[in-house]
Structure 1
Amino acid sequence: MIELMMMTKRLMFRRMFSLLMASTVGLVVYSKVIAIMSPRLQASRNPRKIADTSITPVNGTRHFMVGAYLEHRVRKRSVRIISIIHQESIQPLYCVFYCGTHWANETEAEVQLHLELFAIGFPFVAADVLCPCPPGCNVSHVTLSTRFHVKHPQDHTFLHIRNLQTRQENESFQFDFTVCVSNLFGGYNNVLQVTQTLEMYRLLGVQHVVLYNTSCGPDLEILLQSYKQEGFVEVLPWPIDQYMKPSPGWLFGEHGGEIHYYGQLATLNDCLYRQMYRSRYVLLNDIDEIITPYQHETLPQLMEELQREHPKAGVFKVENHIFPKTQFDPIGRFRCHWRNIPGRNILDHIYRQEPSNPSGQMKLIIQPRAVLKTSVHYVMDNLLETVHLPPQVCRLLHVRAPRPEVSKKELHEDRRLWHYSRQLVPNVNKALQRAGLLI
């Protein structure tokens, strides 16, 4: 009897040991499987759709996202989404964040429309959408939703959040000066003037030019590709005409359309934030305008003196001075250089029109880190002081149709650009030859 009981205990012990070993092996195998699968599970939480274009529709709305940027200057840490909002169909919007390891999708967005007098009547307007960063979220991507709680956020299209790495003023920047050009559209093909403008800016100390391009002519496309390969120009596609009817002019009543001037306010603000920590200064102007110092050879020399005189300033306004395209240098000193190149020769226009309203049509040199929101001719919201530059110090040279029409007697001869011609002319020739447009 005792022997039978001992045999029974041995069998029970062996069975328990076998079960324990089986469960242990199973646990090890299960752990290994989980270890192998976990990267895939982790990866499956990443946003499946990340925007690769400059205009991204918001699901279930008539709104669009342009760019997302970390904002840490004036409020609790948040993300600013430069957007285009259909103001006749505004509804509550919610921010959906990807946090690296989890989703956070219950943050209500604050919509700030860029309301300008010249934008009245257009259903679409530029806007900032502010998304407070949720606690414990290492933000990397964001999107907008009309739902308070999104069950499948990975099915939405997300924007990568830029400006995650900030830079202090005493640190070096990738560029000292960047020019932001808001829009090219309508098959614009003014090759000669664009080349002269880009090479003038290079002589003035600019290292980087950003262009938002809806459409340009075939010759200008070739030129811009050459500058892109060189690294001097960055061209950002801006297919706004695929989503709405853009206005080719300033006023809704005169030009119609659904958004002011091909979405100029959205592109200017997007460029401002893109360059926030890449460039020490940003110039905001059109492709047919050149911000030119009159008492200094270069922009770095100008800004060094201005910042010394105005240490609390972060915005510098430059008067617009029109050089009528209907008036020419009577000698035609530079007229023979580029006869076969399409476009306007700015060196042939040396008569300057006195501005009727000097403070009305100004363009800007800014420290982007000091600006929260910009318009075309002034800064809407900034952290530092604004300085109006006198024309004897700096002018915006703008070759275009006169406004209003004036006689030659009312114009002032101004050969400032000729001062740079010894270097400018051969540099323009080299750029056109490099692009294969000048043989």
Structure 2
Amino acid sequence: MMRGRSRSSISRSKERANMSFFIFIMFFAVFGVIMVTEFLLLEKHNGPARSRYEELQGSMRQNRVLPSDLKKYFLNDLRTTFIPASSLSALKQTITNNVLTPFISTSNYWSIRRDSVRLSTLKYTISNNVLTPFMSSSNYCSIKQDPVRLTALKQTTLNNNVLIPFMWTSNYWSITRDPVRLSALKQTISNNILTPFTSTSNYWWLRRDPVRLSALKQTTLNNVLTPFMWISNYWSIRQDPISLSALKQKILNYLLSPFASALIYSWDGKASHEGVTEKQLPAQAPQDAVWQPVAGTRFKFYVYSAYVERRTVAAVRVIGATKTRGADSVFCRIWLPDNRTITLRAKVQTIRENWNLKYSAVYVLCLLSKTGVKPKDTIGATVAVIATADAATPPSNLLTVIDTKPKPGIEGALHVCVKPFHFHYGRSEWLIEWMELNRLLGVSHFYMYNKTMSEQTTCLLNHYREHYGLVTLLPWNLPIISVTEIRTEGQFAAFQDCLYRSMSSAKWLLVVDTDEVLIPRRERTLPALLEGLSASYAPAKVPAAFLFRNAFFYVLWEDDPQAPAKLLTACKTRRWTTPHVLKNRSKYVVRPRHAVELGNHFTWELLPGATSVGVPKDLALLHHYRLNCEFGGMSCVKVPSTVDRTAHQWSEELMKRVTAEKKLLAKACPKIFPA
């Protein structure tokens, strides 16, 4: 019974084995038929394609077809599966050379390398064509706020400049049929290739930190190499350290170099032809003393004037205004009078007195060290400040570089700096008295900045400018909100501009407001006071700046019954008994050639070794004719006070001068100053 059952089980096992073998044979037969059929169909389809490919390769060798034609043909009509391995390798190299860097592999590139002019032009062309898709859109920052336009920009960039070079990889076409994988690929490429070069604001500073730079390069390599992992021989290259190193270096050169050296002048300052270009000066004329924007920055950034700096550093010093902390990275492009053009690094230096507001006055230092260009070579040049994130676009600002070397015959010259006029300044009657008293005291020139002023004041200052040449009146339309964003119309930028503007023509510079007058107690003029103060320090080193204490002469106090004339300085003689301490509302006189950065009440930075000292109140005092109490109300008139008639010694002569000027103004501005 048991023996019969055993035979039955063996028989069924044999039947199942036979059936499995039959199915296995049938499967391979069907698979073989399918593969042969597909092969015949594909061979029929690609036969002409292979011939066309060989024809294009031959044409390309004879320079009769553009790389873009080969790329287009390759993408649309050819399957990499049916290209011989040697031809595929050559084709990939051709695409790498001619698609990714279309200008470097031109047939005459090597001859161009020996011609510095043509090479410079070629590199600039490469910069424009490589940088443009990533970081030269002038309104890129505004586009970022518009999802629709941003999406369109990213799609255009991805399709035209990022994805296309990788479309020849063997499995790209399979990825394109998988929306999820394709989306992931696009996002990866967008994040890791586009972003590092458009939004890494401190990239240039990373170059100075070997550890962080190495990390950045490694990150870039990891994310750039990934698409190349589809290349059939990538894995074999990885086993060959020499070939892998060469591949990495090639990729770094193609992707990092255009950003690191093709546009920015050798960041370490080394002289090389990358920094000297033949880019022509833009058609518009350069300007001085006009606020001009720096396009492409994340925050407001404006520049006003540019000066030669020979003392602390070899540079062009640009006066500007931008973010107090975390300012955008910029560089300078300078068109020299000898027709050379240099593009070089810039350092944004915040002016110390900024009240911790969002925006501040700044210096933009265009550093000339190791460029072979001397500061004197930049006199009369044109300079533009350009955002690193907007490097390839035409500059949005052009400034004339002004010389700061002292001219002969300026001994004793005393000039005055005044902060920008605003709130439609209209105290024209007092302004005549103020200017004439300063002239009596030895002031020979005034630097003034006009945000807004009354028609009377405008006519008055134009009279002094045209009739005597006493006033330099400059426009001051800084598009940053005063008080809330920047301190009082950006007055500290005006002080710095005044410092460097006066450097060539003034021995002394007095920084005061139009309601303040510096009165010497013993001498008749301020130059005499300053010469006496300087002589008192000889033969030791003479101080570079003298600070003067401030005393309020409130206009709210009663008039002096002994006033010799109907003048404010004659009638208002009551002042605080104890003047303010130094650096609290004090003002100063400084030698411009010894100063680097000015403040409101004292100098922030002088040249190394230069000093500033306070002047005793019995030698000179700053008379501050204040209209109102500091904090409102009338409490200020109750402070201890004393009568000080020092200004009366100028009243008689001052009255004659004011009367004479009013007669002249009646002729110059009859509707405003009637006779």
Same fold (TM > 0.5): yes
Task: Deviation per CA, 1:380-439: give whole Å up to 9, x if none.
Answer: 110211110111111111100344734468211011221101100010111122111252
Among 486, 503, 511, the residue aligned to 1:259:
486
Q: Does 1:392 align with 2:618?
A: yes
Partner of 1:33: none
Return the alpha-carbon distance in structure 2 between the equivalents of residues 96 and 157 of structure 1: 11
C-alpha distance in structure 2 between counterparts of 1:351 and 1:232, whole Å = 31
**2:600 aligned to 370, 373, 376, which one?**
376
Displacement after TM superposition at 1:326 (Å):
0.5
CA distance in 1, matches of 2:596, 2:427: 33
Secondary structure at the residue paired with 2:398? Answer: strand
Indicate whether 1:411 and 2:629 are aligned: no
CA distance in 2, matches of 1:407, 1:82: 41
The answer as to whether partners of 2:512 and 2:587 remain within 8 angstroms in 1 is: yes
Work out which of the residue numbers 324, 348, 368 in structure 2 matches 1:111.
348
Whole-angstrom distance in 2 between the partners of 1:104 and 1:148: 18
Separation of aligned partners in 2, 1:102 and 1:281: 36
Shift of 1:119: 1.4
1:331 is aligned to 2:547: no
Question: How does the TM-score come out when normalised to structure 1?
Answer: 0.79
Identity of matched residues, %: 24
Pairwise mapping of residues 24-173 of structure 1 onto structure 2 (< 5 A)? 45-49=280-284, 50-61=286-297, 62-75=300-313, 77-87=314-324, 90-100=327-337, 101-105=339-343, 107-116=344-353, 119-120=355-356, 122-133=357-368, 134-136=371-373, 138-139=377-378, 140-147=381-388, 150-151=391-392, 155-163=395-403, 166-167=405-406, 171-173=408-410
- The structural deviation recorded for 1:172 is 1.4
Equivalent position to 1:426, from 638, 652, 656: 656
The offset of 1:246, in angstroms, is 1.1
Q: Which amino acid aligns with 2:292?
A: T
Distance 2:517 2:348 in 1: 34
1:114 maps to a residue whose letter is: I
Q: Could you give the per-residue CA deviations for residues 280-301 of structure 1, whole angstroms, max 9, x where no partner exists?
A: 1110011111111111110121
Q: Is contact 1:199–1:427 with CA below 8 Å preserved after alignment?
A: yes
- Aligned to 1:305, which of 532, 554, 568? 532
- Partner Cα distance (1:109, 1:399) in 2: 43
Q: Does the C-alpha gap of structure 1 residues 296 and 143 become closer, same or farther in structure 2, counting only changes over 3 Å?
A: same
Q: Does the Cα contact within 8 Å between 1:321 and 1:397 map onto a contact in 2?
A: yes
When the two structures are aligned, how many residues end up with a matched partner? 371
> How far apart are the structure 1 equivalents of 2:560 and 2:530?
35
For 2:611 and 2:585, locate their aligned partners in 1 and report how far apart those are by CA, in whole Å: 19
CA spacing shift, 1:220–1:148, aligned 2, 3 Å? closer
User: 2: distance between equivalents of 1:85 and 1:296?
Assistant: 43
88 and 307 in structure 1: CA distance in 2 versus 1, 3 angstrom threshold:
closer
Cα distance in structure 2, aligned partners of 1:74 and 1:333: 50
Contact 1:174–1:278, Cα closer than 8 Å, also in 2 = no
For the residues of structure 2 that align with 1:409 and 1:268, how far apart are their CA atoms? 32
Higher strand content, 1 or 2: 1
Name the SS for the 2:497 alignment partner.
helix
* DSSP 3-state at the match of 1:221: helix
For residues 55 and 175 of structure 1, what CA distance do their matches in structure 2 show? 32
The whole-number CA distance in structure 2 between the counterparts of 1:95 and 1:226 is: 38
Q: Distance in 2 between matches of 1:332 and 1:223?
A: 30
| TM-superposed deviation, 1:262 | 0.8
Per the alignment, in what secondary structure is the counterpart of residue 418 of structure 2?
Answer: strand
Q: Tell me the residue number matched to 2:457.
A: 220
Of 415, 427, 441, the residue aligned with 1:204 is 441
The one-letter code matched in structure 2 to 1:299 is L
Instruction: Give the Cα–Cα distance (whole angstroms) in 1 for the partners of residues 282 and 577 of structure 2.
Output: 55
Alignment check: 8 A CA contact 2:551 2:579 kept: no
Larger Rg: 2
Q: Which amino acid aligns with 1:132?
A: L
Deviations 1:198-218 (A, max 9, x none): 000100111101111111112
Partner residue in 1 for 2:508: 281
Aligned pair in 2 of structure 1 residues 53, 373: CA closer, same or farther (>3 Å)? closer
SS at match of 1:129: strand
Equivalent residues of 1:327, 1:351 under 8 A apart: yes
In 2: Cα distance, 1:409 partner to 1:290 partner:
21
The question of whether the paired residues in 2 share the 8 Å contact of 1:179 and 1:208 is answered with: yes
Does the Cα contact within 8 Å between 2:305 and 2:497 map onto a contact in 1? yes
* 8 Å contact from structure 1 (residues 322, 355) kept in 2: no
**Cα RMSD after superposing both structures:** 2.4
Give the Å deviation of 1:127.
1.0
Instruction: Report if aligned partners of 1:108, 1:148 keep a CA contact under 8 Å in 2.
Output: no
Shift of 1:54: 2.5
Report if the CA contact (8 A) 2:564-2:651 is conserved: no
Once the two structures are TM-superposed, the CA of residue 51 in structure 1 deviates from its matched residue by 2.3
| SS of corresponding position for 1:188 | coil
> Paired residue for 1:190?
427
Measure how far apart 1:91 and its partner are. 2.1
Cα deviations across residues 157-193 of structure 1 (Å, max 9, x unaligned)?
A: 21111126x137xx31287010010111001111122
Task: Say whether the 8 Å CA contact 1:96–1:143 is kept in structure 2.
Answer: yes
Deviation digits for residues 295-340 of structure 1 (CA, Å, limit 9, x no counterpart): 11101210111111134211010111110111122427467x58xx
**1:358 correspondence with 2:581:** yes
- Which of 1 and 2 has higher RCO (CA within 8 Å, sep 6+)? 1
The whole-number CA distance in structure 1 between the counterparts of 2:411 and 2:531 is 18
DSSP 3-state at the match of 1:435: helix
Cα distance, 1:330–1:347 mapped onto 2, change above 3 Å: closer
> Of 324, 348, 355, which aligns to 2:571?
348
CA contact (8 A) 2:508 2:589 kept: yes
Following the alignment from structure 2 to structure 1, what is the Cα–Cα distance between the partners of residues 513 and 433? 14
Higher mean C-alpha displacement, 282-291 vs 53-62: 53-62
